[in-house]
Amino acid sequence: MATTTISSGNQRSDLFDRRPLTFDPSLKRNRINRVLTTVAGIFGAIAVLPLFLVLLYVLFQGGRLLSPTLFTQLPPPPGLEGGGIGNAVIGTILVTLIASAIAIPIGVGGGIYLNEYSARGWFSQFVSFGNDILAGVPSIITGVFVYGIVVSTRLFFNQSFSAVAGGIALAVLMLPTVIKTTDEGLKLVPQELRWGSYGIGASKFVTVMRITLPAAFTPIATGVVLAIARAAGETAPLIFTALFSPFWPEGIFNPIATMSVLIFNFSIMPYEAQNELAWAASFVLVVMILAANLFARWISKVSRA
């Protein structure tokens, strides 16, 4: 830094800045500092702005349609007023349950294998790598995939589009998250717990089931709840697997309505009533998903305390 020296013959003194050590806000570096901090503040404000706007509109537009009939009636035929989204609410719950029933056992099992059994060899590295790649596969591709193996081949009882097909598509989507959180959760379990269990004569199976898994319950539960919440809001894999149905669900081997597909279908219709139902479905979906997110957060907070 350039200095104006007022040294009295000492040659080394001009190496040092003789200004006082107090903070001087008018310095260039401090002014740049303030400008950049302001810019970061503005960026942060822009980043949270969409959340507020989306929530505001969903709560306002959807919330005013909230009534008991919303959950007990079917959507109206195009052009008519009223109706509800009862079938779609049931459908979303059903499809998400099917997906969870497939993805959670397989994902937790796979995570157990990765962390407890494989000695970090080539196989576990390959599976971890594949898991990351699978997590990056676009959700619409999983829809195409399930269409290819389940829907177009009529795999189940000669049915094409079905709730099960939708559930499988969502399960493919959930699987990487569940495996990852299980693997990471088990990594946090202290090795001493396992040694202690072996030390008193427990088998590996008993150790995993009674010691390791319960110790890692919180991170796994958090990850699983987040995965379920994400799956419940997914649309792309369902458009041509679960399809849509304007009627009440007729078993899990038939096409089924879900809230996310309902929002997609009804938002592009030129009818007021349908658009309003899309907003109402958004409200229900967003409240469910945000509640699940806050619940997951609460689980991890409670157990950490």
Partner 1 sequence: MPTDSFSPTQADAYTLRRRPPSEKLLDTGFRQLTLVMASMVAVVLISIFLVVFTGAREAIGEFGLSFLTTSGWDAVNQQYGAFVAIYGTLVTSILSLMVAVPLGVGTAILITEDVLPRAIRNAVGLMVELLAAIPSVVLGLWAIFVMEPAIRPALNLLHAWFGWSPFFDTTAQGPGMAPAILILVVMVLPIITAISRDALNQVPIELRQGAYGVGTTRWGAIFSVILPAAISAITGGVMLALGRAMGETMAVTMIIGNAINFNTSLLAPGNTIASMLANQFGEADGMQVSALMYAAVILMILTFTVNVLAQWIVRRLSLRY
CB of 124 to partner 1, least distance (A): 8
User: Which residues in the 78-97 window bind partner 1 by CB under 8 A?
Assistant: none
Our finding on whether 44 is near partner 1 (CB under 8 A) is yes
Q: Which is nearer to partner 1, 52 or 157 (CB)?
A: 52
Shortest separation between residue 146's beta carbon and partner 1, angstroms? 9
Three-state DSSP string of 263-294: HHHHHCCCCHHHHHHHHHHHHHHHHHHHHHHH
Residue 186 CB coordination number (10 Å)? 21
Which one-letter amino acid corresponds to residue 226?
Answer: L
Helix or strand or coil: residue 156? strand
Decide whether 97 or 134 has the Cβ nearer to partner 1. 134
Asked whether position 298 contacts partner 1 by CB under 8 A, the answer is no
Q: Do 172 and 100 form a contact (C-beta atoms < 8 A)?
A: no
Interface characters, 137-156, with partner 1 (x: CB under 8 A): xxxxxxxxx-xxx-------
Is 101 one of the binding residues for partner 1 (CB under 8 A)? Answer: no
| Among 59, 65, 127, 215, interactor with partner 1 by CB under 8 A | 127
**Under the criterion CB under 8 A, does residue 202 sit at the interface with partner 1?**
yes
Contacts of range 190-199, beta carbons closer than 8 Å, 24 or more positions apart: none
CA 259, 148, 97: angle at the middle one, nearest 5? 35
List the one residue out of 180, 143, 182, 183 whose CA is nearest residue 165.
143
| CA–CA dist 187, 112 (Å, integer) | 10
122 near partner 1, judged by CB under 8 A: no
User: Which window, 69-77, 82-90, 126-134, 215-223, contacts partner 1 (CB under 8 A)?
Assistant: 126-134
CA 8 centroid distance within chain: 68
**Contact flag: residue 280 with partner 1 (CB under 8 A):** no
Instruction: Choose which of 124, 156, 215, 246 interacts with partner 1 (CB under 8 A).
Output: 124
